[in-house]
Homo-oligomer: A and B are copies of this chain.
Amino acid sequence: MAFILPFKQVDVFTNVPFKGNPVAVINCLNITEDQISSKQMQAVANWTNLSETTFIFKSSHPECHYKIRIFTPLNELPLAGHPMIGTCKAFLEFTETKNVSKMYCESKLGVIELSIASTGEISFKAPPADIEGIAAEASAGYQKSLGCEPVASPKLVRVGPKWVVFLVSDAEKCYGVNPDFAKLKHISNIFEHTGLILAGSKSGSMTNFEMRAFAPAEGVDEDPVCGSGSLALTRYLHDHFKYSETTQINITEGGRLGRDGHIKTCVSIIESETSYSTGGDAITIINGTISI
């Protein structure tokens, strides 16, 4: 059966059009999930050619405002960063919801809590993420594919996607790297990593970073502004710097692709409990309908 569904394409991690990371969002609130197959959703996501396309359904969880399904051009993802934020922005507009500060979204990794600041910035609290070392062979391979050395051991952070975080000496070094994508893809495939998050500190700061996200094994050589990558980096930085109190981290990303993304992440340390969140601005660029 064919449907004409409400559609938005939202620019995330920016308040300047075309400077962030786009996500296509399809409003399926007026149909049920069994009326559209995963195969159909995958075909749509393959065709939009964006790093992610999402579908909003009614949730069966009583506390959730909606359920999200997230697809790359090649796969369904359990969770992703900028799509969570762009989809929340689209949901608020689709449903003309105003003056809320908390939203709850059902994902394949459980219920995700989103916060909407009075400025309109949207952030979400990530599920707990493991951090672990990687094989020496993987580390050496990534080093070769990037053509530069890390300043600390690269580590794997599982935030839904499996990102290897690779910290270099400074922001300029990070910006200047020209990866060998074929090599990087090869290593990601061997070790079953989603890809690599490259980051460097600005002027030696522990809270200001330039970041880049490479995922050639997922069909995206470089993602312009990567939310899940920012979570992986933040988890890594806490492991590395051992922040003693709640710390906000400012990340810029996308300059090499002509973008100018701004991500704000947070390590929240409340009593003995630590949690991680990421967020930023989002603006709707394309507004209309899609025929499926």
In contact, A43 and B18 (Cβ under 8 angstroms):
yes
Q: How far is the CA of A22 from the CA of B290 in the complex (A)?
A: 13
In contact, B18 and A44 (Cβ under 8 angstroms):
yes
In contact, A286 and B288 (Cβ under 8 angstroms):
yes
In contact, B287 and A286 (Cβ under 8 angstroms):
no
Q: Is A17 an interface residue (CB 8 A)?
A: yes
Q: Is A49 an interface residue (CB 8 A)?
A: yes
Q: Is A285 an interface residue (CB 8 A)?
A: yes
Residues of B within 8 A of A290 (CB): 285-287
Interface centre among A17, A18, A47 (most CB of B within 10 A): A47
For A46, give the chain B residue with the smallest CB separation.
B258
Contact residues of A: prevailing secondary structure: mixed
For A183, give the chain B residue with the smallest CB separation.
B182
Q: How many copies does the complex hold?
A: 2
A86 to chain B, nearest CB (A): 13
Interface centre among A18, A22, A44, A290 (most CB of B within 10 A): A18
Q: How far is the CA of A258 from the CA of B45 in the complex (A)?
A: 11
A6 to chain B, nearest CB (A): 9
In contact, B291 and A17 (Cβ under 8 angstroms):
yes
Please tell me which one of the listed residues B43, B181, B257, B292 contacts residue A258 in the complex, with CB atoms under 8 A apart: B43
Q: How far is the CA of A188 from the CA of B51 in the complex (A)?
A: 26
Q: How far is the CA of A46 from the CA of B292 in the complex (A)?
A: 25
Residues of B within 8 A of A51 (CB): 49
Residues of B within 8 A of A284 (CB): 291
Q: How far is the CA of A264 from the CA of B199 in the complex (A)?
A: 49
Known pairs A181-B182, A182-B182; A47 contacts B288 (CB<8 A)? no
